[in-house]
C-alpha cells in the first residue's frame, strides 16, 4: 500500500486501484502538490493508460445496467413468495380484549429532554440519558436515583446497560462511546473511572453491549456501525453500507446467532453478520428516516419505526416486509418501537406525545396511551415483560404496566 | 507543448492523467500542471473513480442479496403466529398477572374521608 496518505482519491496510474492522492505505487517516489514537478520512474508506463478514461465510462455504464437488472430480479424473487398477508393468516386468531395500561411510576429528575433509556437485566434498574448531558441510573420500583454522571457533551443520544449490571455505556455529540463502571459506593466519582471505547467521526446515535460486558456495538451519524472491544478500545469490525446517518440498531436475541439490524436516514434497514462485517439483507420500503428497529422475540423478524408515521414488520426468512402498522389519523413519526414478551404486541412511541399499541398479527391498533406532555423519544419493554418504560422530551420517564 | 528531444506518449489535458515523456537519457517522466490538482479535476476524477468502485460494491452486494434463501410468506407468517400463541401465557402485558405479583402494580388501598 502507498505510504503517502492525502485526503482525496484518484486512480493510481499504474495499478489502477483507487488510491489516495498522490499515490504512485512503489517503486516510485511521490512528490507533494506543486505545479510543474517532474516525477521520475524506473520503468515505462503501461500503454493502455490513454484509453483508461474511455474504459472507465464503459465499465460504469455496464455496471449500472447490471445493478438495475439485479435489483429488478431481487424484487421478482421476493414477489414470487408473497402468497398471502400476515393478517390473513392471523384471521382465525382470537382478537385481543381491552387493555388497561397506566402510568405506574413517573421518574422525575432530568433537567432536559430524555433521549434514551435502557433496562438492566435485573428488571429493576434503568439508565437514562438526556440533552443536558446527564446520565442517571434509577431504581424503577422505588423511583430513587442510584447514580448520576454528567457527560462532557450535550445530547447524549445513546445509553446502554451492561448485561452484568456493573457498567453503563453512553455517548452522543462527543462522537464517542464511554463506559462507566458502576460502583456500590454512592460517593465515588463515576466520571473519574470513565473509559472511552468507541471513536466515530460523527455523533453516536445508538449503542448496545453484546452478550458480554466486553464488546459494544455502536452506530453513528457518519453512516457506519462498529464493534469495539471494551477493554482495549480496539475496533473489532466495522460495517459500511448505509448511505446516510445510521440512527438505530438492535442485536438479534442470543439463541439465533451473530447478527444485528440497523436503520438509517437512507430509509434502509440492513441486517449484518457481526463476524464478517457483511450486509446480508437489506430492506427499503419506508418513505422516510428509520428511527428505531427492534427484533421480534424469536429473532426471525424485526419491526421498524419511521418518520413516515408507520411501523413495519419485516420477516428475515421471507426476505420482505410482511405488515404495516399505520392509520390515516396518525401523521407524526415514530421515534421508538418495542415488542412485548410474546411478540403479540408492538408498542410505538410517537412524536404526537402518544404511545400506540398494535396487534402484530392482525395489524390493528389495540390501544392508545396518553400521558406524556411532549414527544416520546424512547421506549423499552422490561426484560421479563412485566412493564415498559418510555422517555420523553417532557423531561420525565414513565413506567407503564 | 512538447519539450525538445522528448516523445509524448499519451494525450494531455488538465483533466486527464498526465502525459508521459521519455528523455534522451532514457528516463520517463511527466509534468503535473496545476489543473490536475484543481478541486474540479480532483472531484471529477474522484467522482468517476469512486462511482466505479461504489457501483462495483453495489453490484457485489446485490448479487449477495439475490442469492439469499427465501421461504414463502405464508410459512413465515404461520411461524410468527405460532411463536406468539406459544408464549402468550407468559406475556404479562398481554394477559396481565394477578395483582401482587407484578411489582409495578402494587395493590393500593384508598381511604374514604
Q: Do B103 and A386 touch (CB under 8 A)?
A: yes
Q: Tens of pLDDT along A193-222?
A: 788 998 999 999 999 999 888 999 999 999
- Alpha-carbon span A73 to A55, nearest angstrom: 27
Residues facing residue A388 across a β-bridge? A381, A400
| Contact residues, chain A, for B95 at CB < 8 Å | none
Q: And the C-alpha cell for A4?
A: 503517502
Instruction: Please state, in angstroms and rounded to a whole number, the distance separating the CA atoms of residues A358 and A343.
Output: 10
User: Which residues of B are less than 8 Å from A399 in CB distance?
Assistant: 104
Residue of B nearest to A387 (CA): B93
pLDDT at residue B21, as a whole number: 65
Quick check: A385 contacting B, CB < 8 Å? yes
What is the tens place of the pLDDT at every residue in B23-48? 666 666 665 555 555 556 555 555 66
pLDDT, residue B91, reads 87
Give the three cell numbers for residue A354.
Answer: 402518544
Instruction: For the beta carbon of residue A305, count every other beta carbon within 10 angstroms.
Output: 30
Alpha helices in A98-168 (DSSP H): none
Which helix (H) or strand (E) segment holds residue A132: the answer is none
Does the model's ipTM exceed the 0.90 cut?
Answer: no
Output the average pLDDT for chain A: 85
The dihedrals phi and psi of A48, each to the nearest 5 degrees, come to -70, -5
Least confident of A253-257, A348-352, B62-66: A253-257
* Cα distances (Å, whole numbers) of residue A357 to A311, A354, A367: 11, 10, 5
- Sheet (strand A195-199) strand order: A158-161, A167-171, A176-181, A195-199
DSSP-derived letter for residue B35 is: G
Q: What is the domain range of residue B57?
A: 52-95
A388 closest CB neighbour out of B29, B85, B93 = B93
The interface residues of chain A toward chain B in range 17-46, judged by CB-CB distance below 8 A, are: 18, 21, 33, 35-41, 43-45
Question: Is the CB of A386 less than 8 angstroms away from the CB of B104?
Answer: yes
Judge whether B81 lies within some domain.
yes
> A interface mutation test: which of B91, B96, B106, B107 has the most A CBs within 10 A?
B91
More confident residue, B108 or A295: A295
Q: What angle do CA A47, A52, A58 make, to 5 degrees?
A: 140
Q: Determine whether A80 is exposed, middle or buried from the number of CB atoms within 10 Å of its CB (0-12, 13-18, 19+).
A: exposed
Q: What is the pLDDT of residues A91-136, one digit of tens each?
A: 888 888 878 889 999 999 999 999 999 999 999 999 999 999 999 9
Domain boundaries, position A363: 88-400
Distance CA A110, CA A91 (A): 44
Give helix A52-80 / helix B39-66 axis angle, nearest 10°: 30
A241: region left, alpha or beta (phi > 0 left; psi from -120 to 50 alpha): left
Write the CATH number for B82: 4.10.260.10
With a pLDDT cut of 90, the percent of chain B lying above it is 10
Is residue B103 included in any domain, yes or no?
no
Look at residues A372, A390, A374 and name the one whose alpha carbon lies nearest to residue A382. A390
Question: Into how many domains does chain B fold?
Answer: 1
In a domain, residue B70? The reply is yes
Largest distance between two CA atoms of chain A: 82
CATH of residue A289's domain is: 2.130.10.10
Total domains, chain A? 1
Instruction: For residue A259, tell me if it sits in a domain.
Output: yes
Given a contact cutoff of 8 angstroms between Cβ atoms, the answer to whether A23 and B45 are in contact is no
pLDDT in the model for residue A118: 96
Span of A7-21, A240-254, A301-315 with lowest mean pLDDT: A7-21
Nearest CA in chain A to B40: A8
In angstroms, rounded to a whole number, what is the distance separating the alpha carbons of residues A383 and B8?
A: 73
Q: What's the whole-model pTM score?
A: 0.77
- In whole angstroms, what is the distance from residue B42 CA to residue B30 CA? 18
B82 touches chain A (CB under 8 A): no
Domain membership flag for residue B43: no
> A317: which chain B residues are within 8 Å (Cβ-Cβ)?
70-71, 76, 79
Burial of A162 (C-beta count, 10 Å sphere; 0-12/13-18/19+): buried
Residues 6+ apart with CB under 8 A from A276: none
Nearest to B59 among A70, A96, A341 (CB): A70
Residue of B nearest to A399 (CA): B104
> Quick check: B66 and A70 CB within 8 A?
yes
Residue B8 with chain A: CB contacts under 8 Å? none
In-domain check, residue B59: yes
Examine residue B66 and state whether it is found in any structural domain, yes or no.
yes
Q: DSSP readout, A25-75?
A: -TTPPP--S-SSEEEEESSPPPGGGGGHHHHHHHHHHHHHHHHHHHHHHHH
Residue A163 backbone zone (phi > 0: left; psi -120 to 50: alpha; other: beta): alpha
In a domain, B47, yes or no: no
B108, part of any domain: no
Does the residue A21 lie in any domain?
no
Amino acid at each position: 500500500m502507498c505510504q503517502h496518505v492525502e485526503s482525496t482519491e484518484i486512480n493510481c496510474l499504474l495499478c489502477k486501484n483507487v488510491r489516495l492522492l498522490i499515490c504512485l505505487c512503489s517503486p516510485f517516489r511521490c512528490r507533494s502538490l506543486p505545479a510543474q514537478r517532474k516525477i521520475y520512474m524506473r520503468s515505462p508506463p503501461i500503454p493502455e493508460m490513454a484509453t483508461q478514461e474511455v474504459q472507465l465510462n464503459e465499465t460504469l455504464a455496464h455496471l449500472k445496467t447490471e445493478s438495475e437488472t439485479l435489483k429488478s430480479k431481487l424484487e421478482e424473487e421476493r414477489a414470487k413468495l408473497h402468497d398471502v398477508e400476515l393478517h390473513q393468516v392471523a384471521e382465525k386468531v382470537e382478537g385481543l380484549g381491552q387493555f388497561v395500561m397506566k402510568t405506574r411510576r413517573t421518574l422525575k429528575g432530568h433537567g432536559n429532554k430524555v433521549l434514551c433509556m435502557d433496562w438492566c437485566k435485573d428488571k429493576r434498574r434503568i439508565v437514562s440519558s438526556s440533552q443536558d448531558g446527564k446520565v442517571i441510573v434509577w431504581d424503577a420500583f422505588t423511583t430513587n436515583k442510584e447514580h448520576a454522571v454528567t457527560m462532557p457533551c450535550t445530547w447524549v443520544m445513546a445509553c446502554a446497560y451492561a448485561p452484568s449490571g456493573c457498567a453503563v455505556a453512553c455517548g452522543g455529540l462527543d462522537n464517542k462511546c464511554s463506559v462507566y463502571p458502576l460502583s456500590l459506593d454512592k460517593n465515588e466519582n463515576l466520571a473519574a473511572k470513565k473509559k472511552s471505547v468507541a471513536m466515530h467521526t460523527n455523533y453516536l446515535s445508538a449503542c448496545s453491549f453484546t452478550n458480554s460486558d466486553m464488546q459494544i456495538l455502536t452506530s453513528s451519524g457518519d453512516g457506519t456501525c462498529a464493534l469495539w472491544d471494551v477493554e482495549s478500545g480496539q475496533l473489532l469490525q466495522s460495517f459500511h453500507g448505509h448511505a446516510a446517518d445510521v440512527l438505530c440498531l438492535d442485536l438479534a436475541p442470543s439463541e439465533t446467532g451473530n447478527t444485528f439490524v440497523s436503520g438509517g436516514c437512507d430509509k434502509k434497514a440492513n441486517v449484518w453478520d457481526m463476524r464478517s462485517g457483511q450486509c446480508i439483507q437489506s430492506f427499503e420500503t419506508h418513505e422516510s428516516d428509520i428511527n428505531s428497529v427492534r427484533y421480534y422475540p424469536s429473532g426471525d423478524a424485526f419491526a421498524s419505526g419511521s418518520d413516515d408515521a408507520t411501523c413495519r414488520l419485516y420477516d428475515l426468512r421471507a426476505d420482505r416486509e410482511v405488515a404495516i402498522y399505520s392509520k390515516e389519523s396518525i401523521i407524526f413519526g415514530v421515534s421508538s418501537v418495542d415488542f412485548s414478551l410474546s411478540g403479540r404486541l408492538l408498542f410505538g412511541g410517537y412524536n404526537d406525545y402518544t404511545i400506540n399499541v398494535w396487534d402484530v398479527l392482525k395489524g390493528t391498533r389495540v390501544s392508545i396511551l396518553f400521558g406524556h406532555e411532549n414527544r416520546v423519544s424512547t421506549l423499552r419493554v422490561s426484560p421479563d415483560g412485566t412493564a415498559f418504560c418510555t422517555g420523553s422530551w417532557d423531561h420525565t420517564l414513565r413506567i407503564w404496566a | 507543448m512538447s519539450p525538445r528531444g522528448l516523445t509524448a506518449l499519451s494525450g494531455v489535458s488538465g483533466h486527464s492523467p498526465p502525459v508521459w515523456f521519455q528523455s534522451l537519457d532514457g528516463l520517463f517522466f511527466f509534468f503535473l500542471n496545476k489543473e490536475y490538482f484543481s478541486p474540479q479535476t480532483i472531484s471529477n476524477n474522484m467522482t468517476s473513480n469512486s462511482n466505479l468502485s461504489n457501483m462495483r460494491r453495489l453490484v457485489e452486494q446485490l448479487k449477495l442479496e439475490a442469492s439469499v434463501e427465501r421461504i414463502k410468506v405464508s410459512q413465515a407468517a404461520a411461524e410468527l403466529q405460532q411463536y406468539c400463541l406459544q408464549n402468550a401465557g407468559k406475556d404479562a402485558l398481554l394477559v396481565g398477572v394477578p395483582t401482587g405479583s407484578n411489582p409495578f402494580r402494587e395493590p393500593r388501598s384508598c381511604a374514604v374521608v
